[in-house]
Amino acid sequence: QSALTQPASVSGSPGQSITISCTGTSSDVGGYNYVSWYQQHPGKAPKLMIYDVSNRPSGVSNRFSGSKSGNTASLTISGLQAEDEADYYCSSYTSSSTPYVFGTGTKVTVL
Partner 1 sequence: EVQLVESGGGLVQPGGSLRLSCAASGFTFSSYWMHWVRQAPGKGLVWVSRINSDGSSTSYADSVKGRFTISRDNAKNTLYLQMNSLRAEDTAVYYCAREMAMGSGKDYWGQGTLVTVSS
Q: Residues 14, 16, 41, 100: which binds partner 1 (CB under 8 A)?
A: 100
State the nearest-atom distance from the C-beta of 20 to partner 1, in Å: 14
What is the per-residue binding string for partner 1 in 2-21, x denoting contact by CB under 8 A?
-x------------------
Site membership for partner 1, residue 50 (CB under 8 A): yes
State the Cα torsion 36-41-45-47 to the nearest 10°. -30
Q: Residues 77, 80, 101, 108: which binds partner 1 (CB under 8 A)?
A: 101
φ/ψ of residue 82, rounded to 5: -55, -35
**How many CA atoms, within 13 angstroms, populate the side-chain half-sphere of residue 83?**
5
State the nearest-atom distance from the C-beta of 79 to partner 1, in Å: 23
- Judge whether 26 and 4 are in contact, CB under 8 Å: no
- Judge whether 86 and 67 are in contact, CB under 8 Å: no
**Alpha-carbon gap, residue 35 to 15, rounded angstroms:** 26
Residue closer to partner 1 (CB basis): 18 or 38: 38
Residues at the contact surface with partner 1, assessed by CB under 8 A: 1, 3, 32, 34, 36, 38, 40, 45-48, 50-52, 57, 87, 89, 91, 93, 97-105
